[in-house]
């Protein structure tokens, strides 16, 4: 599947009009929610107890991570969101619900599971450099009753949403059976489903968009990419596994490679910029892609929007979001890069 002929030019005014439509959109997100905790401080000595730095913590923050970060990005871009996930019946679970409420997102779709810990990732950061990360979580599957209620709540929301995102962080929320039921009910409701997968793809058959990064795509297919032909073979295999939907492979500083249902590969380079933290950029990307597509954009136009959004996020430290104004201010550079002018 070779690179297609020169794509049509990108129009700044048209893409800005897509951003203006985000506020009219409502997106369902189903996936693993995490609690991202940051302990930020300074280092001026080594511990006498062990050869490790001593961090004098000056600031502590928490934010929604995982699928919760997709929700944050959708809201920051102006859209409405319904979120379905599960947390433990613990203090961290309480904090997740508080953070959702502060975003204006209903917590009604969040299941509380007694005895199950809410996933928490604690990062110690000194002078913008992450020193260590401590994970407290389980990968055990949620029980069948919780899974059934999750599907019921997602299905109930399908009548009022413009699109859905299934965000699998492999923390036990989305089993193959759960995914198949979600895909069936969302498909019957005519809801386009975008997927950010971590594991086997067969259950996601029928997805309209698959968005792995290059490393994930290689792991999913077993194909190591050395040149453009390998990339084309890899994408063809991914499309076959999801039943022919579009594939957008993020490639870090090289931007995205797009593979639509029909046609060849379209590479969408991203502007060169200083990167402070890539954490959460994939969540920003899928949120922006889905909103731009549901607003009526082409996949290439959506990739430009997503590149601008991800560019705003990687310039920040920690789990961050991109606002609609930040995306708008980066569109001209994103278009120029996509057209090979920068």
Question: How many CA atoms lie less than 13 Å away from 143 in the CB half-sphere?
Answer: 9
> Token digits for 7?
């794509």
- Taking only the tens place, the pLDDT of each residue in 84-137 is 999 999 999 999 999 999 999 999 999 999 999 999 999 999 887 889 999 999
Q: 28 pairs with which residues across the strands?
A: 82, 164
pTM, full prediction:
0.92
Q: Is 283 a catalytic residue?
A: yes
Rg (CA), the chain: 20
| 1: pLDDT strictly greater than 60 | no
Rounded to the nearest integer, the mean pLDDT of the chain is 91
Q: Which of 61-75, 251-265, 291-305 has the lowest mean pLDDT?
A: 251-265
The CATH number of 12-338 is 3.40.1190.20
Tell me the DSSP string of 8-51.
PPP-HHHHHHHHHTGGG-EEEEEE-EEEEEEEEEEEEEE-SSSS
- Taking only the tens place, the pLDDT of each residue in 249-266 is 999 888 899 999 777 899
Q: From CA 284, how far away is CA 271, in angstroms rounded?
A: 16
State the pLDDT at residue 3: 52
- Cβ neighbours for 222, distance < 8 A, ≥ 6 positions apart: none
Q: Which one is catalytic: 277, 283, 325, 333?
A: 283
Q: From CA 225, how far away is CA 339, in angstroms rounded?
A: 24
Are 220 and 202 spatial neighbours (Cβ–Cβ below 8 Å)?
A: no
Q: From CA 280, how far away is CA 165, in angstroms rounded?
A: 15
State the pLDDT at residue 342: 63
* Domain boundaries of the chain, sorted by first residue: 12-338
User: What is the layout of strands, in order, in the sheet containing 53-66?
Assistant: 53-66, 33-46, 120-126, 129-136
């Amino acid at each position: 599947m070779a690179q297609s002929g020169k794509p049509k030019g990108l129009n700044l005014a048209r893409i800005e009009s897509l951003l203006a439509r985000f506020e009219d959109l409502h997106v369902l997100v189903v996936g693993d929610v995490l609690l991202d905790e940051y302990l930020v401080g300074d280092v001026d000595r080594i511990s006498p107890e062990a050869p490790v730095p001593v961090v004098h913590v000056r600031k502590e923050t928490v934010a929604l991570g995982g699928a919760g970060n997709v929700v944050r990005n959708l809201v920051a871009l102006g859209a409405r969101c319904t979120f379905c996930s599960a947390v433990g019946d613990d203090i961290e679970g309480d904090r997740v619900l508080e953070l959702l409420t502060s975003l204006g997102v209903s917590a009604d779709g969040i299941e509380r599971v007694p005895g199950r810990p809410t996933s928490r990732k604690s990062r110690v950061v000194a002078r913008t450099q992450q020193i260590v990360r401590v994970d407290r979580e389980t990968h055990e599957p949620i029980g069948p009753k919780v899974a059934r209620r999750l599907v019921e709540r997602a299905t109930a929301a399908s009548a009022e949403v413009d699109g859905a995102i299934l965000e699998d962080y492999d923390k036990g929320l989305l089993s193959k059976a759960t995914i198949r039921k979600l895909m069936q009910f969302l498909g019957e409701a005519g809801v386009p489903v975008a997927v950010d997968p971590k594991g086997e793809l067969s259950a996601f058959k029928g997805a309209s968009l698959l968005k792995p990064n290059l490393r994930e795509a290689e792991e999913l297919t077993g194909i190591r990419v050395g040149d453009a032909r390998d990339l084309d073979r890899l994408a063809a295999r991914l499309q076959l596994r999801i039943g022919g939907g579009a594939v957008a492979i993020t490639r870090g500083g090289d931007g995205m490679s797009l593979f639509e249902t029909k046609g060849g590969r379209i590479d969408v380079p991203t502007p060169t910029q200083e990167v402070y933290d890539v954490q959460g950029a994939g969540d920003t990307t899928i949120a922006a892609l889905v909103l731009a597509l549901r607003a009526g954009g082409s996949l290439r136009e959506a990739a430009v929007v997503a590149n601008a959004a991800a560019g705003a996020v990687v310039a920040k430290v920690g789990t961050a979001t991109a606002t609609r104004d930040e995306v708008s201010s980066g569109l001209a550079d994103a278009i120029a890069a996509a057209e090979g002018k920068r």
